[in-house]
A and B are shown apart, each in its own frame.
Chain A
C-alpha cells in the first residue's frame, strides 16, 4: 500500500471568459489506509480535484503545475498509456458524483460490474462474473441480484453497486465524490457503513468528497476544507471539526445544524461565494471574513501547521500557536 502525495497541484479550466482556477495550489499527503474528507461549498473545486488526480479532465481542463505521487511514482507526467495500464482503476479509482444515475438501464447491474473487470484485466467471463458477485457481497448486496436491472435496485443499492464497480481492479486509493448526497438518511447510513467496512477489510485509502460535515465527521480520519480552489484548513477530524481555526471553517461548522444540540438560530456566512474566474486578492475568504484586515486583502496566507501537529491553517489571523479570535456568524 502506498502513500499519496499531492503538491501544489493546479488545474484551470480554459473558458471564453478566462481561466477558472478550480484547483489552485492544493497540497496534502494521504497515508496508506487513511480516510481524508474534502469539504467545501458548491463550486469550490472538490470534484475538479478528484478528476485531476485521476487524469480524467474535460478537453478544456488543463493541469497548470504541481505534482501527484503515489508510492513515490509521479503520476502527472506519466504517459497516458502507462497511466491507463497501471494506475487508473488499478491503483486509483473514483466513484463519480451522480454515478448511480449513470448506470446503463438496459444492462444488468452485475454484468456492468463484470464489464468493468473485463475492460481492465485479462480474465474469463466466468471469472469476471464470480468476482462481480464477490464485489456485490462486499458492499452488502445479495449476489443473487447479479442479474437485476438498475431500475430494480433502490437508490442506496445503486450507489453501493457503483462503489463495487470502482473496486473492480483492487485499487489502493478510492475517491468517492458525494457518494450519499441524494440519499435519505437511513440509506445514507447504509452506504457509509459499507464504505467503512470495505476500508477496514481491504485497507483502502479513501478520499471522500462531500459538502456535508457530518458525513466526513463520521467516516474520515482527516478533513481538508476547500474554499475557492484552495485548502484553507487540514488536519485530524477531531481537531478541525471540534476546534476549527480558520474563520471559514468556524462559519461552516456553525452553519451545520446538529440534531442533537439544543435549538439554536440558523447561521449563515454573509456575502457570496467567490468567482473562480477572478478570485479575490490575498486570502480568498477576506471579503466575507469578519477578522479580515489590510494584510488579508493584500497577501495570500500560506497553509502551514499551527498549534497542533498536522493541523494546517491558511489564515493570517491564526497565530503560530493556533490562537485565533472566535468568530460568531449570525
Chain B
C-alpha cells in the first residue's frame, strides 16, 4: 500500500495550449495570428494518493488540460513534471512508455470505445500498445483483474460482451478498467460519471476512491459538478477561461472561497433543500471568447469588485493560507464580502 505522504507526483508550471484559428486572407496578409487560448498559463500539482478536482464551466479548458498532461495534445509551452522529470522533453517513444504510468478515462465513453471490439479486447488494448500482450494467459489474467477492480463480476460474464450490450454504468466501468490494466500511478478521469444517474454513479466513484486509498493512485478528476467535487475530491482547482483562478483543500475552498468567480460559482449551485429557496443567477454577462480574452484579470468585465488595476494587470496565483491559492487583486474585499453575506444570512435565519 502506497498511501499519500504528501509527496508531489505531478507538477504543472505555466502550461499553455493554444489552438490556432483559421485566419482570413486579410489576417494572413497583415501577419495577424490568432488562436483559441484553451489553456493559458496554468500551474498546479497533484500529490501521490490524492484526488485533485478540476472544475469550471463548459469550455474553460478542463479537457484540454487533461489531454495535454498526457501529451495527447502537444503543449504550446510550459513544463509538466511527472515524478521529477519534465515530460514535455520526452520523445514520442519515451512518452508511449511513460503512458504505462499515466492514463486517461475519456469524457465520452460512447465515442472512445470501438463498438466492434468486445470488452476483453477493449481492456487489453493498452497492453497490446505497450507490447505486453505476448503471453495470452498473462493478458487474460490482467484483464480479469482490471475487470474485477471495477466490480464487473463475474468477469467471464462480461469479457465477451460488446459495448452495445452494456448499460451506461457498465460501459463507464470498462473505460476505467482499460485505464487500470497497466496499473498506472496517475489517471486523468474526465467527467467519468456525468452521463450517469446519481443512483449508479456512486458505485463508480467508490471504485475510484478505493483505488486511490488502497493503491496510492493519484487522480485528476475533471468535472463541472462542484457539489460532487466537494464530496469526492481532496483538493479542488477552479478554472475560468484557460486559467486556474483558485485552488485549495476541498473544505477550505467550499467554506471560504477566496476568488469572486469561485464565490459566484458556489452561489449558483442550487440547494437540494426546498426550504431554502434561493436562485442566484451569478455574474452578469457571459463568458468571453477564449480567442480574445479580456486584459488583466479575465474576470474583470463581470466582476463586482473590479478596479482599474484589474483591467490592466493580471493577478498572480498566490498562496493565502495553508495551501489555499487564489489569483485576485482584491482577495481581502472578496473575503469581507463573503463574511458580510454569511452574517446577513445568519441574521435572516435568526429572524
Residues of A within 8 A of B (CB): 41-42, 154-155, 184-186, 188-190, 192-193, 196, 211-215, 217-219, 237-238, 241-242, 251-253, 255-260, 263-270, 272-273
Contact = CB atoms under 8 A, between A and B. Distances in A.
B202 A259 contact: no
Interface string B275-319: 101111111001000000000000000000000000000000000
Contact of A241 (B226, B251, B274): B274
30 contacts: A41-B197, A184-B57, A185-B265, A185-B282, A186-B264, A188-B268, A189-B280, A189-B281, A193-B281, A211-B197, A214-B269, A217-B272, A218-B270, A251-B199, A252-B198, A252-B199, A256-B198, A257-B228, A259-B226, A263-B230, A263-B250, A266-B205, A266-B206, A266-B231, A266-B232, A268-B200, A269-B200, A269-B202, A273-B197, A273-B199
Contacts of A242: 273-275
Contacts of A263: 230-231, 250-251
A218 B197 contact: no
A136 B264 CA distance: 26
Nearest to B204: A268
Nearest to A211: B197
Contacts of B275: 238, 242
B215 interface: no
Contacts of B227: 256-259
Contacts of A188: 268, 270
Report the interface size class on chain B.
Answer: 35 or more
A219 B227 CA distance: 19
A256 B199 CA distance: 8
Contacts of B254: 259
Contacts of B330: none
B348 to A, nearest CB: 15
Contacts of B205: 266, 268
B268 A189 contact: yes
Contacts of B273: 217, 241-242, 258
A311 to B, nearest CB: 13
Nearest to B232: A266
A275 to B, nearest CB: 10
Given A266-B232, A268-B199, A237 B274 contact: yes
Given A185-B265, A268-B199, A269-B199, A253 B206 contact: no
B79 to A, nearest CB: 30
Nearest to B170: A272
Interface of B: 57-58, 167-169, 197-203, 205-206, 209, 224, 226-228, 230-232, 250-251, 254, 264-266, 268-275, 277-283, 286
Given A185-B282, A186-B265, A259-B227, A214 B271 contact: yes
Nearest to A183: B58
A210 B230 CA distance: 22
Contact of B266 (A196, A219, A259): A259
Nearest to A215: B270
A25 to B, nearest CB: 22
B283 to A, nearest CB: 7
A135 to B, nearest CB: 20
A30 B340 CA distance: 41
Contacts of A238: 274-275
Given A268-B198, A273-B199, 9 more contacts: A185-B265, A185-B282, A186-B283, A188-B268, A218-B271, A242-B275, A255-B199, A260-B271, A263-B231
B50 to A, nearest CB: 14
Contacts of A184: 57-58, 224
A268 B250 contact: no
Contacts of A217: 270-274
A283 B286 CA distance: 47
B202 A266 contact: yes
B279 A193 contact: yes
A154 B59 CA distance: 12
